[in-house]
Amino acid sequence: MKRMKKRLAGLILAAAMALNLSACSSGGTAPVLTVAGKEVTLGETGGSVFPLTEFEMAIPGEGTPIDKMPGNSWLSTFMTLKKDGSSYAYLYVYNPGREEVMVPSATIYKLTFRMHSEEEDASYWAEDNVLVNGVNYFEMDAEAVKGAMAEYKLLSEESDHLSYRDGKYLYRFDFGESGIVEEVEVEMEIDKSYS
């Protein structure tokens, strides 16, 4: 009887540790991005946040996505998000449900945006109109990003980028030759094992 209790206690402890480890990698606080005055939390549907009456979503080379997205699928390409002729972000979506949904109404799992630069072809990108968790990373260098992201786990630090994790949420900051933030990517890890 004592031996069985020890085994049972060991199994319960192992199960508790496994649950704790999986909670660490799947938890975290969903990032809130403010894009052109609209707040979006990763995991929300695109149509509820970026109404097509105010925003333009397009797949490069294909135009506005009017197709339905099958259940349990993800879009392997990105959509551009524009408003009033200004580009704001690249939007990545998936459909975790079983029913088909229109592509613009799929769930947002990743947003990427480039900061304004003096280059002619990049001058339409965000200046101070995209915030990540209330922070404007415009013109920040690596040390300023480290300070702003101090509460998150640093995954990777190179001369040209910093990467952080908060449970299932990933943050990446790419720096230009000047050492200033050039691109920000925020992603919610999703299961991409389905097509």
Q: Nearest Cα to 95, choosing from 133, 47, 25?
A: 47
- pLDDT band of residue 125 (cuts 50, 70, 90) is low
Q: Does 174 have pLDDT greater than 50?
A: yes
- Indicate the pTM of the whole model: 0.79
Among 195, 190, 189, 188, residue whose Cα is nearest residue 42: 188
Instruction: Indicate whether 16 pLDDT > 60.
Output: no
Give the residue, 17 or 94, on which the prediction is more confident.
94
Handedness of CA 79, 40, 21, 71 (dihedral sign): negative
By percentage, how much of the chain surpasses pLDDT 90? 41
Give the model confidence (pLDDT) of 135-172 as tens digits. 989 889 999 999 999 999 999 999 999 999 999 999 99
Confidence (pLDDT) at 171: 97
Using the structure block, give the residue that is written with the tokens 């990373």.
137
| Dist CA 176 CA 116 (whole Å) | 11
